[in-house]
């Protein structure tokens, strides 16, 4: 059964689509509450809820007596501290390199439940078992790219020739359409995303998990060996931009910081 999208969420989605498509630029006034209420055939209270939430998410700016405007992004760097393993290793005088295992475009028919939840994509006719060929080179672009909802990359990060992190990353294809074309053996994924669409917030978890076979192979450890897994979800303009799983060999990596 298809889940009905609440009216206020439909309004939020429409506003975000106008912003992401470039129809409404930073600093532009958006439609009035009355106009939105008429367009969506809802009460002004419903419109007000949508605008209030987008304002709290720093997507919109409401000015008393003037209207509602697309918020100016008054920052060049992310509010979210995103660690760059390449910089960390180089600053520690360790030899760093990255190996791209695979890149692919994921269409609606290929979405699994986890990705639909993470990116709040909603119900559609989905086949979790559908597969497409991996893109092994940055210029291996074909028609499926046009239908992509997400891009997926898998990368092994090495320190002094030893695999230290296995990165599995998913990115909103519509927000960063050129992502799949990058050479991530040279360009760092986090650096590229921040440059394209500054991150405003995020959340993460760190868990100790036994390495499944594919991760063990990538990290050159025995299956079921202990790993530390960092899962991170980051947002831009009120929507999820990227979700990443970073697997670390338990005996080669630790997380630390200052209080």
pLDDT in tens, 101-134: 999 999 988 888 889 888 988 754 343 334 444 4
Pairing mode of beta strands 201-210, 162-172: unpaired
Element (H, E) at 85: helix 85-91
When pLDDT is averaged across residues 162-188 and rounded to a whole number, the result is 93
This prediction has a pTM of 0.66
How high is the pLDDT of residue 258?
Answer: 65
107: phi > 0 → left, psi -120 to 50 → alpha, else beta; which? beta
pLDDT > 80? residue 18: yes
Residues written for the chain: 259
The answer on pLDDT for 246 being more than 90 is: yes
Q: How far apart are the first and last CA of the chain?
A: 48
User: For 245, phi and psi rounded to 5 degrees?
Assistant: -115, 125
Facing residues of 247 across strands?
Answer: 166, 229
The residue written with tokens 């990116």 in the block is: 119
Residue 178's pLDDT band, with cuts at 50, 70 and 90, is: very high
Read off the tokens for 71: 């918020």
CA angle (96, 247, 113) in 5-degree steps: 135
Candidate ranges 7-11, 194-198, 245-249; pick with highest mean pLDDT: 245-249
- What is d(CA 52, CA 37) in angstroms, rounded to the nearest whole number? 14
Do 248 and 229 meet the contact criterion of CB atoms below 8 Å apart? yes
């Amino acid at each position: 059964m298809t889940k009905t999208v609440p009216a206020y969420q439909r309004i939020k989605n429409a506003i975000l689509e106008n912003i992401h498509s470039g129809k409404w630029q930073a600093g532009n006034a958006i439609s009035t509450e009355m106009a939105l209420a008429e367009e969506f055939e809802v009460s002004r209270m419903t419109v007000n809820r949508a605008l209030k939430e987008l304002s709290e998410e720093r997507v919109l700016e409401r000015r008393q007596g003037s209207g509602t405007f697309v918020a100016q992004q008054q920052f060049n760097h992310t509010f979210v501290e995103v660690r760059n393993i390449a910089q960390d290793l180089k600053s520690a005088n360790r030899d760093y390199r990255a190996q791209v295992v695979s890149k692919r475009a994921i269409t609606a028919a290929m979405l699994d439940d986890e990705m639909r939840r993470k990116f709040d994509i909603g119900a559609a006719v989905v086949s979790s078992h559908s597969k497409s060929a991996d893109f092994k080179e940055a210029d291996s672009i074909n028609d499926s790219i046009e239908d992509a909802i997400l891009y997926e990359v898998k990368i092994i990060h090495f320190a002094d020739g030893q695999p230290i992190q296995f990165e599995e990353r998913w990115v909103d294809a519509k927000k960063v359409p050129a992502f799949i074309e990058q050479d991530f053996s040279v360009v760092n994924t986090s650096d590229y995303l921040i440059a394209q669409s500054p991150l405003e917030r995020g959340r993460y978890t760190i868990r100790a998990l036994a390495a499944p076979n594919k991760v063990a192979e990538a990290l050159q450890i025995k299956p079921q060996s202990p790993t530390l897994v960092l899962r991170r979800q980051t947002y831009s303009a009120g929507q999820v931009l990227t979700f990443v799983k970073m697997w670390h060999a338990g005996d080669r990596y630790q997380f630390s910081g200052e209080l």
